[in-house]
Structure 1
Amino acid sequence: MNESVYLDHNRLVIDGTPRVLLCASLFPFRVPREQWGQRLEAVKRLGYHAIDVYIPWNFHETAPGVWDFSGRRDIDEFLRLTHEAGLYAMVRPGPYICSEWDGGAIPAWIATDPARGGGDALRQNDPAFLDAVRGWYDRILPIIVRRQYGHGGPVIAVQADNELDFFACRDPRGYIGALAGMMREAGVDVPIVACAGQGDMARAFGGADGVVPAVNLYADDDGVDMDAHVRYYRAAADRYDAPLIVTETNRLHRTLRRMVGSGARFVGPFLQVSGWDFDYGTSVNNWGALESYMTHDYDFGGVIDPAGRERPDADEARRLSAIIAALGERLAEASPAADQTVGCHEAVSPCLDGWDGTPPDGIVSRDGGDGELGVGVLDLAGGGRLLTLTNVSGCDLAVSSGSAAVSTPSMPDVVVPAGVGVMVVSDLPVDDRLTLCATNGELIGLDVADEGARITLSPPVTREDGVWATFVSGTGADVIAVREQTGDTETRMCGDVLFVSGSDGRISFSADNGERVYEIVISRPDRRYVPSSAPLATVDELDSSGERPAWSPVADGTDGGRALPAEDVGVYAGAVRYTADVDGATTGVVLRDAADTISVRCGGVRTAWRANGGAALYVPFDDADRTHAAPDDVSPTTRTLEVTARIWGHSNFDDSRLLSLRLTAKRGITGALAVSGVHDLGSGWLTGYDPHDPAYARSLRDAGLEIGEDPRPRGGFGGWSTTTWPHRLAYMRTLHVGDTVAALHVDGGRARCDVRLNGRDIGSITPLRPTLWLGDVHDGDELAVIVWRTWGEDAGRATLLTGREVVGWTMAAQGLSELRAAADAFAGAGDRDGEPATTRTTLPLTVEPGAAMWLRVPAAALAESACSMNTVVRFDGDGLQLTAFTDDLCLGRVVLGGLPGTTFAGGRGDLFLVPEHAGDLLLYVEATRDVAGRLDAVTLGGPVDRG
Structure 2
Amino acid sequence: MSRFVAFDHNRLLIDGRPRVLMCASLFPFRVPREQWKQRLQAVKSIGYHAIDVYIPWNFHETEPDIWNFEGQHDIEEFLRLTHEVGLYALVRPGPYICSEWDGGAIPAWVSTNGKTHVRQYDDAFLGEVRKWYGKIMPIIARQQYRGADADDGGVVILVQADNELDFYACHEPGKYIGALASMMRSYGVDVPIIACAGQGDMLRAGGTAEDVSPAVNLYPGDNDVDVDAQVRYYRRAADTYDVPLVVTETNRWHRTLRRLVGNGARFVGPFLQVSGWDFDYGTSVNNWGRVEAYMTHDYDFGGVIDPTGQERPDADDARRLCSIIDALGERLASATISDDRLTGIHLDSAEGDRFDETRVGVAVGSLDLHGGGRLLTFTNVSDDAADIRIGDAPDDALSDGGYPALTLPAGAGAMVVAGLPLGDGMMLRATSGELIELDESGHTLTLSAPTMAPGRFGAIIRPAHGIKADDIHIHTDALTAHMVNGDIVVQGDHGTATIGQGQSSWRITFTQPEHHVVLGCAPHSSVRSVAISLDWPSWTLCDGDVLHDALPLEDMGVYSGAGRYRAATNMRGALGVVLHNAADTVNVRCGNSGTDWQACGGVDAWIPFNEPVADDTKDIVVTTRIWGHSNFDDTGLNALRLNGKRGMCGAMSIERVLDIGSGWRVGYNRTDPDNAERLRENGLVLGDAPVPRCGFGSRSTTAWPHALVYTRTLSLGGASACLHIEHGQTRCEVRVGGRTIGIITPLAPTLWLGEVPDGSELSIVVNRMWGEDAGRIALLVGDELTGWTCESQGLKELRASCARATYVRASLPVLVPGGEGRWIRVPGASIRGSEYSNNTIVRFDGEGLQLTAFTDEYCLGRVVLGPLPGTVFAGGRGDLFVVPHGEGDLMLYAESTRERGGTLRGIMLGGSVDR
User: What TM-score do you get using the length of structure 1 for normalisation?
Assistant: 0.92
Post-superposition shift, 1:888?
A: 1.3
- The question of whether the paired residues in 2 share the 8 Å contact of 1:371 and 1:395 is answered with no
Out of 753, 757, 760, the residue aligned to residue 778 of structure 1 is: 757
Query: Which residue number corresponds to residue 599 of structure 2?
Result: 611
Whole-angstrom CA distance in 2 between matches of 1:893 and 1:41: 29
Q: What whole-Å deviation, never above 9, does each CA across 1:666-691 have from its counterpart, x for those lacking one? A: 00001011111211111010011112
Indicate yes or no: 2:33 matched with 1:41: no
Post-superposition shift, 1:341?
A: 8.0
- The question of whether the paired residues in 1 share the 8 Å contact of 2:378 and 2:414 is answered with yes
Query: Which residue number corresponds to residue 760 of structure 1?
Result: 739
Alignment of 1:933-944 (within 5 A): 933-944=902-913
Post-superposition shift, 1:934?
A: 1.6
What code does the residue aligned with 2:200 have? G
Post-superposition shift, 1:489?
A: 6.5
Query: Which residue number corresponds to residue 305 of structure 1?
Result: 306
In the superposition, relative to structure 1, how do residues 205 and 349 fare at CA in structure 2: closer, same or farther (>3 Å)?
Answer: farther
Post-superposition shift, 1:801?
A: 1.0
Indicate yes or no: 2:264 matched with 1:250: no
What code does the residue aligned with 1:401 have? I
Query: Which residue number corresponds to residue 277 of structure 2?
Result: 276
Q: How many matched pairs?
A: 905
Whole-angstrom CA distance in 1 between matches of 2:471 and 2:326: 25
Whole-angstrom CA distance in 1 between matches of 2:353 and 2:217: 31
Post-superposition shift, 1:476?
A: 11
Indicate yes or no: 2:709 matched with 1:730: yes
- The question of whether the paired residues in 1 share the 8 Å contact of 2:625 and 2:647 is answered with yes
Whole-angstrom CA distance in 2 between matches of 1:930 and 1:347: 66
What code does the residue aligned with 1:442 have? E
- The question of whether the paired residues in 1 share the 8 Å contact of 2:496 and 2:507 is answered with yes
What code does the residue aligned with 2:816 have? V
Whole-angstrom CA distance in 2 between matches of 1:462 and 1:896: 39
Out of 751, 767, 776, the residue aligned to residue 797 of structure 1 is: 776
Q: What whole-Å deviation, never above 9, does each CA across 1:7-34 have from its counterpart, x for those lacking one? A: 0110000011100000000000000000
Post-superposition shift, 1:490?
A: 5.2
What code does the residue aligned with 2:422 have? V
Whole-angstrom CA distance in 1 between matches of 2:19 and 2:403: 33
Alignment of 1:479-498 (within 5 A): 492=482
- The question of whether the paired residues in 2 share the 8 Å contact of 1:365 and 1:398 is answered with no
Whole-angstrom CA distance in 2 between matches of 1:203 and 1:340: 31
Post-superposition shift, 1:404?
A: 5.4
Query: Which residue number corresponds to residue 532 of structure 2?
Result: 544
- The question of whether the paired residues in 1 share the 8 Å contact of 2:458 and 2:490 is answered with no
Query: Which residue number corresponds to residue 569 of structure 1?
Result: 556
Post-superposition shift, 1:467?
A: 2.2
Post-superposition shift, 1:622?
A: 2.5
Query: Which residue number corresponds to residue 887 of structure 1?
Result: 856
Whole-angstrom CA distance in 2 between matches of 1:349 and 1:776: 73
Post-superposition shift, 1:887?
A: 0.7
In the superposition, relative to structure 1, how do residues 782 and 407 fare at CA in structure 2: closer, same or farther (>3 Å)?
Answer: farther
Q: What whole-Å deviation, never above 9, does each CA across 1:641-678 have from its counterpart, x for those lacking one? A: 11000000000000011100000010000101111121
Post-superposition shift, 1:461?
A: 3.3
Post-superposition shift, 1:466?
A: 1.2
Post-superposition shift, 1:514?
A: 6.6
What code does the residue aligned with 2:840 have? T
Query: Which residue number corresponds to residue 462 of structure 2?
Result: 472
Indicate yes or no: 2:621 matched with 1:642: yes
Whole-angstrom CA distance in 1 between matches of 2:695 and 2:342: 58
Structure 1 runs not aligned, ≥5 long: 351-355, 627-633, 830-837
- The question of whether the paired residues in 2 share the 8 Å contact of 1:683 and 1:715 is answered with yes
Query: Which residue number corresponds to residue 370 of structure 2?
Result: 381
Indicate yes or no: 2:136 matched with 1:140: yes
Post-superposition shift, 1:338?
A: 1.0
Post-superposition shift, 1:358?
A: 3.6
Whole-angstrom CA distance in 1 between matches of 2:383 and 2:488: 41
What code does the residue aligned with 1:448 have? E
- The question of whether the paired residues in 1 share the 8 Å contact of 2:460 and 2:487 is answered with no
Q: What whole-Å deviation, never above 9, does each CA across 1:753-786 have from its counterpart, x for those lacking one? A: 1101111111110000000011121111010001
Post-superposition shift, 1:840?
A: 1.4
Whole-angstrom CA distance in 1 between matches of 2:533 and 2:779: 45
Whole-angstrom CA distance in 2 between matches of 1:570 and 1:274: 32
Query: Which residue number corresponds to residue 353 of structure 1?
Result: none
Whole-angstrom CA distance in 2 between matches of 1:479 and 1:765: 83
Query: Which residue number corresponds to residue 15 of structure 1?
Result: 15
Q: What whole-Å deviation, never above 9, does each CA across 1:889-925 have from its counterpart, x for those lacking one? A: 1111000112001010111100000000011100000
In the superposition, relative to structure 1, how do residues 25 and 464 fare at CA in structure 2: closer, same or farther (>3 Å)?
Answer: closer
Whole-angstrom CA distance in 1 between matches of 2:156 and 2:723: 55
Stretch deviating more after TM superposition (649-658 or 424-433): 424-433
Indicate yes or no: 2:894 matched with 1:904: no
Whole-angstrom CA distance in 2 between matches of 1:498 and 1:437: 10
What code does the residue aligned with 1:705 have? L
What code does the residue aligned with 1:439 have? T
Indicate yes or no: 2:426 matched with 1:439: no
Query: Which residue number corresponds to residue 639 of structure 2?
Result: 660
In the superposition, relative to structure 1, how do residues 843 and 346 fare at CA in structure 2: closer, same or farther (>3 Å)?
Answer: farther
* C-alpha RMSD of matched pairs (Å): 2.5
- The question of whether the paired residues in 1 share the 8 Å contact of 2:469 and 2:482 is answered with no
Query: Which residue number corresponds to residue 125 of structure 1?
Result: 121
Indicate yes or no: 2:829 matched with 1:856: no
In the superposition, relative to structure 1, how do residues 582 and 5 fare at CA in structure 2: closer, same or farther (>3 Å)?
Answer: same
Stretch deviating more after TM superposition (844-853 or 241-250): 844-853
What code does the residue aligned with 2:576 have? G
- The question of whether the paired residues in 2 share the 8 Å contact of 1:484 and 1:501 is answered with no
Out of 595, 604, 610, the residue aligned to residue 622 of structure 1 is: 610
Whole-angstrom CA distance in 2 between matches of 1:480 and 1:711: 106
- The question of whether the paired residues in 2 share the 8 Å contact of 1:390 and 1:420 is answered with yes
**Any idea what SS the aligned residue of 2:244 has?**
coil
Q: What whole-Å deviation, never above 9, does each CA across 1:843-902 have from its counterpart, x for those lacking one? A: 122222112101001111111111111100000111110000001111110001120010
Query: Which residue number corresponds to residue 834 of structure 1?
Result: none
Query: Which residue number corresponds to residue 430 of structure 1?
Result: 422
In the superposition, relative to structure 1, how do residues 429 and 291 fare at CA in structure 2: closer, same or farther (>3 Å)?
Answer: same
- The question of whether the paired residues in 1 share the 8 Å contact of 2:364 and 2:379 is answered with yes
Out of 842, 846, 855, the residue aligned to residue 815 of structure 2 is: 846
Whole-angstrom CA distance in 1 between matches of 2:635 and 2:480: 70
- The question of whether the paired residues in 2 share the 8 Å contact of 1:142 and 1:186 is answered with yes
- The question of whether the paired residues in 1 share the 8 Å contact of 2:23 and 2:269 is answered with yes
Structure 2 runs not aligned, ≥5 long: none
In the superposition, relative to structure 1, how do residues 385 and 735 fare at CA in structure 2: closer, same or farther (>3 Å)?
Answer: same
Query: Which residue number corresponds to residue 389 of structure 2?
Result: 400
Whole-angstrom CA distance in 2 between matches of 1:489 and 1:164: 55
In the superposition, relative to structure 1, how do residues 482 and 777 fare at CA in structure 2: closer, same or farther (>3 Å)?
Answer: farther
In the superposition, relative to structure 1, how do residues 489 and 605 fare at CA in structure 2: closer, same or farther (>3 Å)?
Answer: closer
Q: Which runs of at least 4 in structure 1 moved beyond 6 Å after TM superposition?
A: 344-350, 476-486, 493-503
Indicate yes or no: 2:410 matched with 1:418: yes
- The question of whether the paired residues in 2 share the 8 Å contact of 1:468 and 1:484 is answered with no
Percent identity, aligned pairs only? 57
In the superposition, relative to structure 1, how do residues 281 and 347 fare at CA in structure 2: closer, same or farther (>3 Å)?
Answer: farther
Post-superposition shift, 1:528?
A: 2.0
Indicate yes or no: 2:577 matched with 1:589: yes
In the superposition, relative to structure 1, how do residues 465 and 132 fare at CA in structure 2: closer, same or farther (>3 Å)?
Answer: closer
Post-superposition shift, 1:480?
A: 12
Whole-angstrom CA distance in 2 between matches of 1:554 and 1:889: 26
Whole-angstrom CA distance in 1 between matches of 2:763 and 2:869: 31
Whole-angstrom CA distance in 2 between matches of 1:474 and 1:483: 15
